[in-house]
Amino acid sequence: MAKVLAVLSSGYKDEENNYETGWWGEELFAPMQLLEKAGHQVDLASPLGGKPKIDEVSISKEYDPEGTYRALYESGKTDETQKLSEVRPSEYDAIMVVGGHGAMYDLAKNEDLHRLINSIYDQKGIVAAVCHGPAPLLWTQRPNGENIIAGKKVTGYPDAWEPEGLLDILPFSLEQEMRKTAEYAPHMDEKEVVIWADDQIVTGRDPMSSERFGKELVKALQEK
């Protein structure tokens, strides 16, 4: 059995632009279910600890038509998370950064998260991130001063799919920042599930990639 740390945004509210966001339901629950089915333990952490803010859109009828992820959320599975600052990385075999636009705000430049990512990577663990979850990898610096995904094949949510007007208020463009140092692969066919697994790094493009992303993470842990 491996132990996996799933990291969630605590949430972000922009009152000026009437915008509120957090973590995305499918991007946690789909891989979590696969990991647990494979016998692995999944622990949760967030910047503030306690109950992190979900992006309500992710459990709406449009994105969760069967109510699968809403039911899991309402079951209380995510009501308690550890504070990132209190997590001991030596306990974990992998870290999984869950997407949702919240990751762009309180996870991207979080130094406690960078410390955990580096420590788990140095322990030969797996660093995984889906959709907007790769944002913190852009600011996780290795001893040589480069970010952890420099020169690696990665994917993440593309600019062209961002809701109209949202790029104007987001703190940065995930795609453009990734393109600066990594080999970014968006593959814009909406029906194509895109995953990049390079060395110890596993990334998924979007919510539709969540299940395949979880399978790749299970596979990576089996091969560890």
- The domain that holds 42 is classified in CATH as 3.40.50.880
pLDDT score recorded for residue 83: 98
Question: What contacts 119, CB < 8 A, 6 or more positions away?
Answer: 89, 90
Domain span including residue 149: 3-223
For residue 189, the model assigns a pLDDT of: 78
pLDDT of res. 197: 81
Burial (CB count <10 Å: 0-12, 13-18, 19+), residue 197? middle
The pLDDT value given to residue 195? 84
- Could you state, in chain order, the average pLDDT of each consecutive group of 10 residues for the chain (224 residues)? 98 95 98 98 98 98 97 98 98 98 98 98 97 98 96 94 95 97 84 80 95 95 88
Q: How many domains does the chain have?
A: 1
What burial class does residue 201 get, using C-beta atoms within 10 Å of its C-beta: 0-12 exposed, 13-18 middle, 19+ buried?
A: buried
